[in-house]
Amino acid sequence: MQPSRPHLYPAIAVFATVLLALISAHFYAFSMEKRYVNVMAAQMNLESMNGSVFQRIGIQQPDLLLVYGSSEMLNMDTDNRSVNFFKEYPTGFQVYEIAIGGTTCLNIAQDLAALGPDLTGKKVVVSFTPAMFNLDQVHPNAYWGVYSQLHANETAFSLNLSMALKRKIAARMLDYPDTLKDDPLLLFALQQINANTAFNDLAYDLVLPLGNLKLQVMHLQDDWQALSFIWDNPDVKAHIAKHARDIDWTAEIEKAQLDQQNNANNNPYGVDNQTWGDNYQSFKPQAPGSGDMLYTANVQNSKEWGDLEIVLQLLKEMGAKPLIMSRPINGVLFTASGVSSQAQQVYYNKLEQTVQAYQMPLVDFKQFTNDKYFNTDSVSHTSRKGWIYVNQIFDAFFHDKIR
């Protein structure tokens, strides 16, 4: 005769109650996050940048275009900036910027890895400037300043990425040990992945379930932070006003050209007046070609190319539909700084070769290299005029006119 275990029934009841509460909380959080995701697309906040929940929901929305980038997506907060230009969904969509100044390709790779299978079949834009490739390696503070612990763990414990790609990512993440010192489980996993031996692969496989359990806890925290943002901002309305209109791109460009000229008239290089006064007062032209050797060496040897390849390989493995977008070199300022047009071409050649290997569409705006009103400074931050061309590309890509 089986002994009676009446004490188990209360325990089972408590477990079932907790489980039901968690499931109910998850569905409540999802419904609220989906309701507010378009609002989040119109705002820049850390939850949207460092979390995953709004990005995962956002990429599923038929009227949002996710753009992963850096400061080139943020500067010049005029009506021409993409997030403002498409704010009322004039052609049926809004740009959702996932961008923080200083973002590197390795940061973007982790952001995308966190989306996992949600990327499959979805349009996404990866944006950057040539300045990211001007040094042999971007400053560690840039990577650290944008680092997301959640996205890093999503990458290391992903069940969707190939081990070959994980090894590439792990090797680069280990180059920044300061980001890992407070996350021993992540550090251990990356070390096992990078070691590339049968023993270390086994150790990684053994720790993988623990890593995914940790991720479940982090996802709950992500949900809570998303809900906290919604609760803490009761004045934010979930409804977004949408006003369809035809865009006369030629007229928009002409207006932006005049606007930029009027705001960049205190110097001969097309640099925005405020930027010139703040950063370029001591600028002196250099001898033609005097900077070619250093520039070409830095571009050819930049580690950022390897990180860009990680992004491209990840997009390909996930079956995404990406557009790769580079801003043009500010050829007017570069030439005045001693970097010749022939040396500048090294960047474009390297970029085209890298992206073409993955058969992905690329827009580099190379034809605007010597248009002094496309950029506002030497690091290719976008001007009022440049934004219109960027917006035109986003619009064409969203509407399947760029493949």
4 pLDDT tier (thresholds 50, 70, 90): low
Per-residue pLDDT, 3: 53
**pLDDT at res. 1:** 47
Q: Higher-confidence residue: 100 or 232?
A: 100
Q: Does residue 290 lie within any of the structural domains? A: no
Residue 274 has pLDDT above 70, yes or no: yes
Whether 323 is in a domain gets the answer no
Q: What is the mean pLDDT of residues 119-145?
A: 91
pLDDT value for 10: 60
Report the number of distinct structural domains present in the chain.
1
| pLDDT value for 38 | 74
Residue 364 counted as domain residue: no
Instruction: Write the DSSP assignment of 251-272 as a string of letters.
Output: HHHHHHHHHHHHTS-SSTT---
- The β-bridge partners of 322 are 124
- Residues belonging to the chain: 403
For residue 152, give the nearest of 68, 218, 206 by alpha carbon: 218
Q: What is the pLDDT of residue 15?
A: 47
Assess whether pLDDT exceeds 90 at residue 316.
yes
Q: Is 360 a member of any domain?
A: no
Confidence of residue 335 (pLDDT cuts 50, 70, 90): very high
The string of DSSP codes covering 322-382 is EEEEEPPP-HHHHHHTT--HHHHHHHHHHHHHHHHTTT--EE--GGGTT-TTTBSSTT--B
Residue numbers of the domain that contains 143: 9-284+372-395
Among 159, 47, 124, residue whose Cα is nearest residue 311: 124
Q: How crowded is residue 128: how many other Cβ atoms within 10 Å of its Cβ?
A: 26
Residue 320, classified by CB atoms within 10 Å of its CB into exposed (0-12), middle (13-18) or buried (19+), is: buried
Write the CA distances from 306 to 103, 298, 351, 372, integer angstroms: 15, 14, 11, 30
Is the model's pLDDT at 180 over the cut of 60? yes
Highest mean pLDDT among 18-32, 34-48, 74-88, 381-395: 381-395
The predicted model scores a pTM of 0.90
Check residue 45 and give its pLDDT. Answer: 61
pLDDT at 18: 47
Would 51 be classed as within a structural domain? yes
Strand order in the sheet with 362-363: 94-99, 64-69, 123-128, 321-326, 362-363
Average pLDDT over every residue of 35-42: 71
* pLDDT of the residue at 281: 86
The mean pLDDT value of the chain amounts to: 89
For the stretch 96-116, pLDDT in tens is 999 988 899 999 999 999 999
Task: Please name the residue that has the structure tokens 């943020």.
Answer: 74
Strand partners, 67: 97, 125
Q: Which residue did the predictor score with more confidence, 142 or 26?
A: 142
pLDDT band of residue 229 (cuts 50, 70, 90) is: confident
Type and span of the H or E element at 159? none
Helix (H) or strand (E) holding 127: strand 123-128
| Residue 151 near residue 54, CB atoms below 8 Å | no
In a domain, 150, yes or no: yes
Residue 363, Cβ neighbours under 10 Å: how many? 19
pLDDT score for 138: 80
pLDDT surpassing 50 at residue 137: yes
Residue 50 falls inside a structural domain: yes
Whether pLDDT at 339 is above 90: yes
| 296 within domain boundaries | no
Q: Which range (66-70, 75-79, 131-135, 323-327) has the least confidence?
A: 75-79
pLDDT bucket at 286, cuts 50 / 70 / 90: very high
Q: Average of pLDDT values for 120-139?
A: 92
**Mean pLDDT, to the nearest integer, of 378-395?**
96
Q: Is the pLDDT of residue 346 over 50?
A: yes
pLDDT tens-digit series, residues 244-267 = 999 999 999 999 999 999 999 999
> Residue 7 — very low, low, confident or very high, per pLDDT cuts 50/70/90?
low
How much is the pLDDT for 19?
A: 46
* Tokens representing residue 264 in the block: 């960049």
User: Is residue 113 a contact partner of residue 157, using CB atoms and an 8 Å limit?
Assistant: no
